[in-house]
Structure 1
C-alpha cells in the first residue's frame, strides 16, 4: 500500500487556503482515478483505490489528516501502523513557500525547512518520507507568511494551480511507480510554471 497524504486544515474555513493545496490535490486525484468513498479513519478522511503504472496496478490510500496541519504526522503514523509500512511508503503533497508559484519538486529525506506539518511527519515516521513540494511563492515578509498561507488562492493563483492539478493527475502513475524524475518532468511539461509578476503580492521564493 502506498499512502498519499495531503497537507491541510479541516473545515470549510480553510478549504480554499494556499495551506490546503495538498487537500485540494487529493480531491482532484480522488475524482480522476475513481477512488472509493471518503471514510473517517486514522484521524483522517481516507479513501482507497488503485493506480495503473508501467509495472502494474498499485494500491493507494489517500489520506487527509483532520488533526490540523501542524500535527499531521500522528495521522500518518496510525495509517502506517495499520498497513504495516514505514516512511518509505508515504508521499506527502504540500504547499511550499520556498518555491516559486507553480513550480514542483519531489524530494525524499532532508530537513523540514520550517514546515511544521513535515516536522510532525518526520517526528513520527523519520526523515525518509517522500515530498511533492508545490510552490506557492513567498509574501516577501516573514511576518506575513502565516496570513499568506491561510488566505485563499487568488484568481491569479488559480490560473496556474488548476492546470497544475490536472498535470499532477495525468503524471501520477510515474509518481506511484517511483519514477520521481519523470513525474516532475511531465508535470512541468504539461503545466509550465508562470513567469513571476512583480505586481503580485508574493515573491517567487527560491529553489
Structure 2
C-alpha cells in the first residue's frame, strides 16, 4: 500500500514546552487533527496522544509521543508493533535547525542530524532510517553550545508566525504528503517562504 499510515509529531510534554521551537512537529499533528475533526486521546500503551483518521480514503494513525523528546522512539515502536506498520509507512514531523523559520522540506531517510527524537526513533526501529520526514524550519542559534536552550524556548512572535504559516501551508497539501505523492508538492513546498 502506498503512503504513510502512522503520522508522528515530535515535541515535549507539558505546559512549559507548549509552543516552543522543539514542539513544531507536535503542532503540525495537532493542526491536522483539528482539520480532520479527530480528537487525540492519551493512550498509555502507545506512550502518547493518539487518534485515528481517514485521509484520502486511507486509515491513518496520528501520534504525539508524551515521552520526552529523546524517548520518542518508544511511542513510535509501540504503535508500529501493534498495527504492524513498517518504517517506510511512518512519517515523522519535526523541527529542523538547518533550515530557516518559514521554510519546510520533505525528506525520506537520512541520518538524525543530532536531533534526539529522530535518533531514538532510528534506534527503536532497528536502525532503519527509511521513514519519511516533514522538516519544519526553526533556524539555528549560531553555535552548537546554544542549541539545547534555543530549541526549548518559544520563538519571538515574528518567527513563531512564520513557523505557523509554514505548518498551515504544508497542511493544504496533507493528502498528497500522506499519500506519498511528493513529486506534485515538493517543488511548491520547497520554494515556499513565509
Give the TM-score normalised by structure 2: 0.91
Corresponding residue of 1:169:
171
Q: Is 1:119 aligned with 2:119? A: yes
Q: How many residues align?
A: 188
How far did residue 113 of structure 1 move? 1.0
Question: Counterparts of 1:117 and 1:21 in 2: how far apart (Å)?
Answer: 12
- 1:9 aligns to what SS in structure 2? coil
Question: Counterparts of 2:13 and 2:79 in 1: how far apart (Å)?
Answer: 18
Corresponding residue of 2:31:
28
1:64-107: CA deviations, max 9, x gaps? 00111011011100000010111011100000001122221111
CA contact (8 A) 2:48 2:63 kept: yes
Question: Counterparts of 2:150 and 2:165 in 1: how far apart (Å)?
Answer: 22
Corresponding residue of 1:133:
135
Could you tell me which runs of 5 or more consecutive residues in structure 1 were left unpaired when the two chains were aligned: 195-207
Corresponding residue of 2:81:
81
Alignment of 1:1-207 (within 5 A): 2-41=5-44, 42-52=46-56, 57-125=57-125, 126-188=128-190, 192-194=192-194
1:15-73: CA deviations, max 9, x gaps? 11000001111111000111244232401110111112xxxx11111100011101101
Give the TM-score normalised by structure 1: 0.86
CA contact (8 A) 1:172 1:183 kept: no
Could you tell me which runs of 5 or more consecutive residues in structure 2 were left unpaired when the two chains were aligned: none
How far did residue 188 of structure 1 move? 5.0
CA contact (8 A) 1:45 1:64 kept: yes
Larger radius of gyration: 1
Task: Point out the more displaced range, 30-39 or 140-149.
Answer: 30-39
